[in-house]
């Protein structure tokens, strides 16, 4: 109920900001009613996602009715960040953003992260070092082939960075509806699903992540890898810094400060297998934000799509330290 009320107020505030102070009381009352119905529709949509998808985590908050995210006030941006903390994933529908606008909105969430080109697949968006192209075609127009798939495994963006509280912002500029998908799992919700033995093993573990361990960075240039000399340490069990939920951390490489922990292979299977998941089927104009401390994600498939699908797909990713 609290989330519904906050969202209702959020829509009222957004409407008045986007339509100016000169609207009549009568028009305002009419549009408040419309906004309320939109809010109710949004909440129903969120609940249906949880009801219709088996093991669907209530980890996604869908916002519709925003004309342009860059027109949001600082208070409204703060509300979006609050929903991100509470849910882990926020979906803002029907946007139409240029690269400049995506960068501007991302900067309102926090400090933008810029990676060297070779750590972005050597496929730069010219003129925008903050933006990574997530697409099945190279910038020169040639197909990337089905063997080229960034993020086709469960992972967290930026987990090699020393400031680990990062969010990712992914915008669908060109995509065939429901042919591409991204999957998310909730690292915090899964804690209560783990066996006592797995909880104990993870609580004793400290995972280490080096930029050189990231599969997608295997072809990174030495001068770029050298920019990140330190290893990031992650406790196997941790409390989220904002919502204080107890969460489980584990990486697919199973590298800890004691070396490769083969005895944690079952723990990896348990975390990725028992966690409730959300699959986002992309539509043009979707803007999806996720909290990398709360969730893991991987490239998924939708319909007949996959790494070998040649249907043009263009998404743009930015990252931000919250």
Angle between helices 2-19 and 25-52 (to 10 degrees): 140
Residues forming a β-bridge with 66 = none
Q: What is the side-by-side strand order in the sheet with 180-186?
A: 277-281, 180-186, 295-301
State the Cα–Cα distance between residues 234 and 250, nearest whole angstrom.
8
What does the pLDDT read at residue 315?
Answer: 94
What does the pLDDT read at residue 19?
Answer: 58
pTM: 0.82
State the Cα–Cα distance between residues 295 and 157, nearest whole angstrom.
10
What does the pLDDT read at residue 9?
Answer: 54
Structure-token match 């004309």, residue found: 67
Cβ atoms of 124 and 133 within 8 Å: the answer is yes
What does the pLDDT read at residue 223?
Answer: 95
Residues forming a β-bridge with 298 = 183
Which segments within the chain are labelled E, that is strand? 60-63, 89-92, 111-113, 132-135, 166-174, 180-186, 206-209, 232-235, 237-239, 246-248, 255-256, 259-260, 277-281, 287-291, 295-301, 314-321
- From first to last of the 322 residues of the chain, give the pLDDT tens digit: 445 455 555 555 555 555 555 555 544 444 444 334 334 333 323 332 332 233 334 689 999 899 999 999 999 999 999 999 999 999 999 999 999 999 999 999 999 999 998 988 777 788 999 999 988 887 777 877 666 676 788 999 999 999 878 999 999 999 987 778 999 999 999 999 999 999 999 999 999 999 998 988 988 999 999 999 999 999 999 999 999 999 999 998 999 999 999 999 999 999 999 998 999 999 999 999 999 999 999 987 554 445 556 778 899 999 999 9
State the Cα–Cα distance between residues 158 and 143, nearest whole angstrom.
27
Structure-token match 């086709």, residue found: 152
What does the pLDDT read at residue 51?
Answer: 29
State the Cα–Cα distance between residues 174 and 182, nearest whole angstrom.
15
């Amino acid at each position: 109920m609290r989330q519904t009320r906050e969202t209702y107020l959020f829509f009222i505030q957004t409407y008045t900001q986007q339509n100016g102070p000169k609207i009549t009381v009568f028009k305002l009352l009419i549009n408040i009613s419309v906004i309320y119905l939109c809010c109710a529709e949004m909440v129903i949509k969120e609940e249906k996602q949880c009801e219709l998808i088996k093991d669907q985590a209530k980890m996604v908050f869908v916002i519709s009715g925003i004309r342009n995210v860059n027109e949001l006030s600082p208070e409204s941006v703060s509300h979006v960040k609050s929903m991100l903390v509470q849910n882990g994933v926020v979906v803002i529908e029907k946007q139409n953003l240029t690269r400049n606008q995506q960068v501007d909105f991302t900067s309102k969430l926090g400090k933008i992260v810029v990676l060297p080109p070779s750590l972005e697949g050597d496929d730069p968006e010219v003129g925008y070092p903050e933006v990574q192209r997530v697409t099945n075609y190279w910038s020169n127009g040639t197909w990337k082939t089905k063997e080229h798939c960034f993020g086709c495994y469960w992972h967290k963006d930026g987990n090699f960075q020393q400031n680990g509280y990062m969010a990712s912002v992914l915008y669908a500029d060109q995509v065939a509806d429901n042919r591409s998908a991204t999957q998310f799992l909730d690292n915090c919700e899964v804690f209560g699903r783990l066996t006592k033995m797995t909880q104990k093993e993870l609580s004793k573990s400290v995972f280490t992540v080096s930029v050189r361990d990231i599969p997608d960075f295997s072809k990174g240039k030495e001068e770029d890898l050298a920019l990140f000399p330190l290893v990031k340490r992650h406790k196997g069990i941790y409390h989220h810094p904002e919502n204080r939920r107890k969460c489980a951390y584990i990486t697919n490489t199973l590298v800890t400060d004691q070396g490769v922990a083969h005895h944690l292979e079952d723990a990896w299977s348990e975390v990725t297998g028992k966690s409730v998941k959300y699959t986002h089927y992309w539509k043009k104009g979707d803007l999806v934000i996720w909290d990398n401390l709360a969730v893991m994600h991987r490239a998924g498939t939708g319909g007949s799509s996959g790494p070998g699908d040649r249907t043009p797909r263009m998404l743009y990713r930015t990252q931000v330290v919250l």
